[in-house]
């Protein structure tokens, strides 16, 4: 059993909870700092000597450091949802990108906002954007700093990721504008996530260990924020929580990054609590008992005197802070991310001394003698294995049915996911609905493919197409029917303009995974470029059967129908596109084109006349308007529209 290390401290006159709601003793500020992809064993105060983390070390000195904290998920949006709700992924349901968080699950912000807190969130990556990939996480926040919807920058900075110092400055600007009252501020530092590209001087200091350089840079951003809190007199009476959302493989168990496995390399995270000055909870400096990130929310609520929701998977850690509890807590792990590649999902149970991983080839480790989880001791008749299996079965029984919540990932969002090194649901078709996932491939047998696929995605994002192709060809040597590799190769050739080769790769991808909507859409694009209009029509229609809400697919299918001289079918597709995006000029131009082809000139004129008022500098509007007026036999309006289009074309040269 772990032993709590306690330092003697002075007694405080009043507890934090007493009089928490009174005007004389306002509740303390609550600050949550989540540092993405941060391994506990790569922080100096956790014993790692090869990195400088003075801000984290200082908070640990002023607060409480938990040496054995574990996340239930190695994926950013899922792990953060667990932090913000105190629930396991199988309970809150956010096990995929873009899955909305159910309103039945209250978050930190909602609970604190109801008690008068001013609330704001500042995110470091688009993966936590509440408009796209993390819907529902903004509930309860007065301000949630999402990314611009249509960023024009080609750089990843500002488009899919923000540097930690940028995130911190945004938070400070908001606090400058809202100085009164109690605050709950969440700051998310994404920097340690790959690709590892720390700015100078960290890129030089840690040139041989760029992951550590990212951590050191993130720590410097944290130091800036802590200095700001101290300057404004907020630090002493703030409850500050710093936690990693998950770790990073760094090659352990052959996993380069994270998301696939549930080993400690990606689930063991640093957790530090800095208590308000007036807190009368004990002053334990280090807690060695095993805890979970789901325990953070009930702890914060307990410390500030707010009742917890009736259903939480975590428990308050306040007894540890008072030195009255030494017992470790059972930590569950879950990852559905392997399903995006057609591989089996994983579940785990970790106690202080052992871990069981439920997989097609199950694993059981004695952590006391094998902390690195290298010697699999699994035996089906082992009593602990049977006990852990029962626990996981009980969790499954309480979870919502598979597929109860699904995220809708648009093409632009898929591109953002790939820029961050992830695949989304649309990439993997409906493999998440496999009724017997244990019949799928064990991720242990596929990790080399995953590393190559991830490398190819990042190389493609950096416009290193040759490196991306080489990596994908290696995947196909391992698995000639890898639908993900075939689709990525098809997409590369599509962008390169080799449409015939792209169509061949994408056809093979669809044969390997018939319900992959993304491959079908890309194949339709390639076939349209090769003038195989019938094939393009069938491929795009198949994509829309899987995902009916694809705006770009509706536009392309409408255009294909126009080329096939089927103007009525084209009109239907453009009208469907307008239902998805009512203000789209492209969809309305397509509709007018279809109407003109049908001879419905009056309808086309009415629509184009309205469009000309909102698009007065769009030459294409007036060109079609001229055609529509000509069809009605109105020569003068047709000439005027044609002249207007000509002037606009000349002005844009």
Encode pLDDT of 7-47 as tens digits: 333 232 333 343 334 345 678 999 999 999 999 999 999 99
Last residue of a domain, one of 543, 572, 606: 543
**pLDDT at res. 564:** 96
Angle between helix axes 567-580 and 585-598 (nearest 10 degrees) is 160
- Residue 317 in any domain: the answer is yes
pLDDT for 17: 40
For residues 513 and 576, what is the distance between their CA atoms, to the nearest angstrom? 27
The pLDDT > 90 percentage for the chain reads: 78
Mean of pLDDT values over 279-288: 76
One domain for residues 143 and 272: yes
Give the residue-averaged pLDDT of 97-112. Answer: 94
Boundary (domain end) residue, out of 518, 543, 568: 543
Residue 203: the pLDDT is 97
pLDDT (0 to 100) of residue 14 = 35
Domain final residue, candidates 508, 524, 543: 543
pLDDT at 432 over 50: no
The DSSP bridge partners found for residue 290 are: 68
**Residue 496 maps to a domain:** yes
pLDDT at 269: 98
Residue 575 within a domain: no
* Domains: count for the chain: 2
- Same domain, residue pair 450 and 318: no
Range from 2-6, 358-362, 595-599 carrying the lowest mean pLDDT: 2-6
- What kind and span of H or E run contains 590? helix 585-598
Q: Is residue 367 part of a domain?
A: no
Average pLDDT, the chain: 90
450 and 307 in one domain?
no
- Is 42 among the domain residues? yes
> Is 73 part of any domain?
yes
Instruction: Confirm whether 126 is domain-assigned.
Output: yes
Are 67 and 201 in the same domain? yes
- CA nearest neighbour of 350 among 252, 287, 269, 271: 269
Q: Which domain holds residue 54?
A: 29-329
CATH number at residue 470: 1.25.40.10
Does the structure show a pLDDT above 90 at 407?
A: no
Residue whose C-alpha is closest to residue 504's, from 474, 541, 539: 539
- From 586, 555, 483, select the one nearest 540 (Cα to Cα): 555
Nearest to 300 by CA among 276, 323, 278: 276
**Average pLDDT of span 396-408:** 65
CA–CA separation, 219 and 481 (whole Å): 43
Give the CATH number for residue 64. 3.40.720.10
Q: 315 and 189 in one domain?
A: yes
Determine, yes or no, domain membership for 266.
yes
| pLDDT tens track for 284-294 | 899 999 999 99
């Amino acid at each position: 059993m772990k032993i709590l290390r306690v330092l003697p401290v002075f007694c405080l006159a009043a507890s934090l909870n007493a009089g928490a709601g009174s005007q004389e003793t306002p509740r303390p500020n609550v600050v949550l700092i989540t540092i993405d992809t941060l391994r506990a064993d790569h922080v100096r105060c956790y014993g790692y000597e090869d990195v400088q983390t003075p801000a984290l070390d200082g908070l640990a000195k002023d607060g409480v450091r938990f040496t054995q904290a574990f996340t239930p998920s190695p994926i950013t949006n899922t792990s953060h949802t667990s932090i913000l709700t105190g629930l396991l992924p199988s309970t809150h349901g956010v096990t995929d990108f873009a899955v909305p968080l159910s309103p039945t699950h209250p978050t930190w912000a909602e609970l604190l906002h109801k008690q008068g807190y001013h609330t704001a969130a500042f995110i470091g990556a688009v993966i936590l954007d509440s408009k796209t990939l993390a819907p529902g996480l903004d509930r309860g926040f007065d301000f949630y700093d999402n990314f611009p919807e249509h960023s024009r920058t080609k750089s990843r900075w500002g488009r899919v990721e923000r540097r930690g110092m940028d995130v911190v400055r945004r938070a400070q600007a908001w606090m400058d504008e809202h100085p009164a009252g109690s605050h709950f501020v969440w700051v998310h530092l994404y920097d340690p996530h790959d690709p590892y590209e720390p700015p100078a001087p960290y890129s030089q200091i840690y040139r041989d260990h760029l992951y550590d350089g990212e951590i050191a840079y993130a720590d410097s951003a944290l130091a800036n924020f802590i200095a700001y809190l101290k300057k404004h007199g907020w630090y002493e009476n703030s409850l500050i929580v710093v936690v990693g959302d998950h770790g990073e493989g760094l090659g352990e168990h052959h996993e380069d990054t994270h998301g696939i496995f549930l080993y400690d390399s990606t689930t063991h995270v640093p957790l530090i609590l800095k208590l308000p000055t007036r807190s009368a909870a004990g002053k334990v400096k280090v807690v060695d008992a095993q805890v979970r990130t789901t325990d953070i929310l009930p702890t914060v609520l307990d410390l500030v005197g707010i009742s917890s929701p009736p259903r939480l998977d975590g428990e308050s850690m306040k007894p540890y802070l008072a030195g009255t509890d030494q017992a470790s807590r059972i930590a569950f792990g879950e990852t559905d991310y392997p399903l995006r590649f057609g591989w089996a999902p994983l579940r785990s149970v970790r106690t202080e001394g052992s871990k069981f991983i439920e997989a097609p080839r199950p694993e059981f480790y004695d952590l006391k003698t094998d902390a690195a989880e290298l010697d699999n001791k699994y035996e089906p008749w082992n009593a602990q294995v049977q006990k852990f299996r029962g626990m996981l079965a009980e969790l499954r029984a309480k979870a919502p049915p598979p597929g109860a919540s699904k995220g809708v990932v648009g093409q632009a969002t898929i591109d953002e996911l790939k820029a961050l090194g992830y695949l989304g649901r649309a990439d993997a078709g409906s493999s998440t609905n496999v009724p017997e996932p244990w019949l799928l491939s064990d991720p242990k047998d596929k990790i080399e493919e995953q590393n190559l696929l991830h490398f190819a995605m990042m190389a493609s994002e950096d416009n290193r197409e040759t490196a991306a192709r080489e990596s994908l060809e290696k995947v196909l040597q391992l698995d000639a029917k890898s639908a993900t590799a075939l689709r990525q190769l098809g997409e590369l050739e599509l962008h390169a303009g080799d449409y015939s080769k792209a169509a061949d790769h994408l056809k093979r991808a669809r044969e390997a995974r018939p319900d992959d909507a993304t491959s079908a859409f890309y194949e339709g694009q390639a076939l349209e470029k090769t003038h195989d209009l019938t094939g393009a029509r069938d491929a795009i229609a198949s994509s829309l059967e899987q995902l009916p809400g694809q705006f770009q697919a509706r536009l392309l299918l409408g255009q294909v129908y126009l080329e096939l001289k089927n103007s009525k079918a084209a009109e239907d597709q453009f009208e469907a596109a307008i239902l998805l995006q009512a203000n789209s000029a492209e969809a309305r131009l397509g509709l007018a084109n279809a109407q003109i082809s049908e001879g419905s000139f009056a309808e086309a004129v009415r629509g184009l006349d309205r469009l000309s008022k909102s698009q007065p500098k769009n030459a294409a509007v007036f060109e079609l308007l001229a055609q529509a007026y000509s069809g009605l036999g109105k020569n003068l309006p047709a000439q005027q529209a044609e002249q207007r289009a000509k002037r606009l074309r000349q002005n844009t040269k």
